[in-house]
Structure 1
Amino acid sequence: MADEYFLLVCDDVPNSVVLTDPGPCALNVAQVVRRLTGLSLWHSKVRSTQVPAVIVDGVRQEVAEAAVAALHAAAAQAEVRGRSEPDSPEA
């Protein structure tokens, strides 16, 4: 019996939302981070001031784009980063 290995490729690669600049309204950004993560306001403010910070990780593309839009509406700079594909195993 031979062992076979398969590389599974998902249609939707998990994405991360990275906050790159909180902008001038740190409290508004902290409130958006709180809504997105469920953290307390204090923890959200700490996370939003330590940039670059991963706000949400492992979400679908649509969810990540909605999170970035909410952060942009609060005058912050954020981006969606997709996870890199794993290297294929050598045969």
Structure 2
Amino acid sequence: MADEYFPLVCDDVPHAVVLTAPGTRPLSVAHVVRRLTGLSLWRSKVLATRVPAVILADVSQEDAEAAVAALRDVGAQARVRRQPEPGFLEP
């Protein structure tokens, strides 16, 4: 018997924060990335300079919007991206 899977309708679809440009102050952006992710300063700086980069994944919309606002406050360009469910397009 074949298994059937049905997508569930959730109240909160997971979102991701994508850094698209570090702006003119990449070290300030690295500090914000460090605060958001808990990574070391060196890894945060590498993540902040290699764009586009997913800073946070599988977070709520409110947390993603707060992270984008924090990144934009230091001059970076970031956006919230809605993540599809795993296997959503697979037959």
Q: Normalized against structure 2, the TM-score is what?
A: 0.88
Question: For the aligned residues, what is the CA RMSD?
Answer: 1.9
Q: What is the CA–CA distance in structure 1 between the aligned matches of 2:70 and 2:15, rounded to whole Å? A: 16
The percentage of counterpart residues that share the same residue type is: 67
Unaligned 5+ segments in structure 2 are none
- The CA deviation string for residues 35-65 of structure 1, in whole angstroms up to 9 with x for no partner, is 0000000000000000000000000000000
User: Are 1:81 and 2:71 an aligned pair?
Assistant: no
Where does structure 1 differ by over 3 angstroms across 4 or more consecutive aligned residues? Answer: 2-5
Q: Normalized against structure 1, the TM-score is what?
A: 0.88
Q: What is the CA–CA distance in structure 2 between the aligned matches of 1:81 and 1:68, rounded to whole Å? A: 11
> CA 1:3 to 1:24, structure 2 compared with 1: closer, same or farther past 3 Å?
closer
Bigger mean CA deviation after superposition, 79-88 or 58-67 = 79-88
- Pairing 1:60-75 to 2, within 5 Å after superposition: 60-75=60-75
8 Å contact kept, 1:17–1:78: yes
Aligned-pair distance for 1:5? 3.9
Q: What is the CA–CA distance in structure 2 between the aligned matches of 1:28 and 1:4, rounded to whole Å? A: 48
State the SS of the aligned residue for 1:69. Answer: helix
Aligned-pair distance for 1:6? 2.9
Bigger Rg over Cα: 1
8 Å contact kept, 1:7–1:88: no
